[in-house]
Structure formats: structure tokens, C-alpha cells
């Protein structure tokens, strides 16, 4: 049976600081490392043996993947890193404090930017040093493919070719696959896999460091899915993500 695990990276420095992160390459905190270790323990206790792993080109995801695989004694598993699994690009919001942004623009607007399906945040200028066109790791890519902002829909548009070309064929070959990525690139995949509506995806938040296991049928339709470990802890952690942008929060 094809098995897919989606794992959001452990807490990053900017998760802790409550800043919009997107494609900024911040590292995980010590608490994030502990989450990655725990994720490895949960996957090990589940008896998972991965055939392949995929991650982004951002170190919070790469380090989480390596940390979890090490706990499982599966550091040997082949890994592909791709920009297509990067976090959703947060445009001009990258680096801003989430609660301050809410105080300035209001809760409703910030929820639209954070969680709506097809409304992107204001774009980052191509000349901005933070634009991916000015980052060496993307130098070989067509500059037109590099976003200055993304909605969840356009994030899914760039995740899906990788899903179809790289991940789906492995699952169709009955392999067990781990994807370690980000809150919104994983929400995009979650929407695609579970077929939730655009209204429902607005309320979906993916907690850091808790493996989400999907049992799929041979056509890759979802038979069932669940967070590993304590379901209440996963629910509380998802609620905490939803509440990060409340005004006055820090």
C-alpha cells in the first residue's frame, strides 16, 4: 500500500519570533530540533521504513528531515531537494511581525493573506535583495518561474509538477515516501490530496514537527490520514498556528 508522510519542519527562529518567513532561509530553534527528534521517534514507533524522501531547498526543512531520519537510523534514505517544495513566498510580508501586521491591517485582511486560497500578499519587488532572483541557489532557474509573492493556489501550481513527476510515480510503485516541507506548501498538497474546498482550506493549519500519515490506494486516492502521536496535541498545535497572527500576540 502506498504510504505518504507529510512533515512540517520543527519550530524555526522566525516561528518563535512570530515573523512571516516564506522563502527566507531561517534555521530551526532548539525547540524545533526537539520536535524533529520527536517526529523521528513517532515515525520509528510506527515502523515506517522510507524508500525516498523529498524536501525543499530551505535549511529548516532539510535539518528537520536529517534529524528525524537520524533518529530512525535511516539517514541513508535517498533525498531529493527541490525549490518546488519551498514555503509559499510571502511577498512583501516576509520579515514582518505577524501580530503587528494584524494591528496595522486588521485580522480579516491578515487571515486572507495567510489562509485564503487565491489571494496573494503584496508582491516583493524584483530588485529587492530578498527576491529569489537575487539568490544563488535559484540561479539556474528561469527567472520567470521565481515568485515575488504567492497565493496557496499558485503555490499548488508549482508543487504539482513535482508531485506528478517525482513523488506520485514512487507511490504508484508502492513505495513509502516522506515529504518534509512547510506550513503552506504542505497545505497546498493537503488540499490536492484530500479535495477539501477552498473555504475549508482556510481553516486548515499544519503544526510544526508532527508527522501526518496518509494511506493511499493504488490510484493514490486517500483512504485515511492521521497525525502520529497524541491527536489532541496535534489539534492544539494546529490551533496555536491559527492564532499566531492575533493582534498583541508575541
Ligand X SMILES: O=C(O)[C@@H](CO)OP(=O)(O)O
Query: Which spans of this chain sit near ligand X (rule: CB under 6 A)?
Result: 15, 20-22, 87, 90, 98, 114, 183-184, 241, 244
- Whole-number minimum distance, CB 79 to ligand X, in Å? 22
137 marked ligand binding residue: no
Tell me the angle at which helices 30-45 and 59-71 cross, rounded to the nearest 10 degrees.
Answer: 40
Cα 8 from Cα 129, distance rounded (Å) = 27
Active site includes 131? no
Q: What is Dmax (Cα atoms) for the chain?
A: 50
- Whole-number minimum distance, CB 83 to ligand X, in Å? 15
Active-site residue (options: 35, 54, 87, 182): 87
- Whole-number minimum distance, CB 13 to ligand X, in Å? 11
Nearer Cβ to ligand X (20/214): 20
89 marked ligand binding residue: yes
46 marked ligand binding residue: no
Cα 20 from Cα 23, distance rounded (Å) = 10
Nearer Cβ to ligand X (21/55): 21
Q: How far is CA 119 from CA 24, 78, 115, 162, 170, in A?
A: 20, 36, 9, 23, 32
Nearer Cβ to ligand X (3/21): 21
Active site includes 87? yes
11 marked ligand binding residue: yes
- Whole-number minimum distance, CB 104 to ligand X, in Å? 15
DSSP 204-240: ----TT--EEEEE-TT--EEEEEESS-HHHHHHHHHH
Residue spans of alpha helices (H) in the chain: 13-17, 30-45, 59-71, 98-105, 107-115, 152-162, 168-172, 183-194, 198-201, 231-242
What is the three-class DSSP state of 150?
coil
**Beta carbons within 8 Å of 195's beta carbon, 6+ residues apart:** none
235 marked ligand binding residue: no
Nearer Cβ to ligand X (67/185): 185
Known binding site for substrate: residues?
8-15, 21-22, 60, 87-90, 98, 114-115, 183-184
Catalytically active residues, by annotation = 9, 87
Amino acid at each position: 500500500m502506498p504510504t505518504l508522510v507529510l512533515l512540517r519542519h520543527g519550530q524555526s527562529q522566525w516561528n518563535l519570533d512570530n515573523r512571516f518567513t516564506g522563502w527566507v532561509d531561517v534555521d530551526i530553534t532548539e525547540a524545533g530540533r526537539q520536535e524533529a527528534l520527536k517526529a523521528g521517534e513517532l515515525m520509528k514507533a510506527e515502523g515506517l521504513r522510507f524508500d525516498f524522501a523529498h524536501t525543499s531547498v530551505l535549511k529548516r526543512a532539510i535539518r528537520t528531515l536529517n534529524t528525524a531520519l537520524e533518529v530512525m537510523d535511516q539517514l541513508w534514505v535517498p533525498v531529493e531537494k527541490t525549490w518546488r517544495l519551498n514555503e509559499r513566498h510571502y511577498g512583501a510580508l516576509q520579515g514582518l511581525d505577524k501580530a503587528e501586521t494584524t494591528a496595522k491591517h486588521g485580522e480579516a485582511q491578515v487571515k486572507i493573506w495567510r489562509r485564503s486560497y487565491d489571494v496573494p500578499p503584496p508582491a516583493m519587488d524584483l530588485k529587492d535583495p530578498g527576491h529569489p532572483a537575487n539568490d544563488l541557489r535559484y540561479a539556474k532557474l528561469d527567472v520567470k518561474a521565481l515568485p515575488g509573492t504567492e497565493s496557496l493556489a499558485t503555490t499548488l501550481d508549482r508543487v504539482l509538477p513535482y508531485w506528478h513527476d517525482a513523488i506520485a510515480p514512487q507511490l504508484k510503485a508502492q513505495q513509502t515516501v516522506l515529504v518534509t516541507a512547510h506550513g503552506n506548501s504542505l497545505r497546498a498538497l493537503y488540499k490536492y490530496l484530500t479535495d477539501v474546498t477552498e473555504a475549508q482550506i482556510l481553516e486548515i493549519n499544519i503544526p510544526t514537527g508532527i508527522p501526518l500519515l496518509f494511506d493511499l490506494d493504488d490510484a493514490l486516492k486517500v483512504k485515511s490520514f492521521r497525525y502520529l502521536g497524541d491527536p489532541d496535541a496535534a489539534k492544539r498545535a494546529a490551533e496555536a498556528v491559527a492564532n499566531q497572527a492575533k493582534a498583541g500576540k508575541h
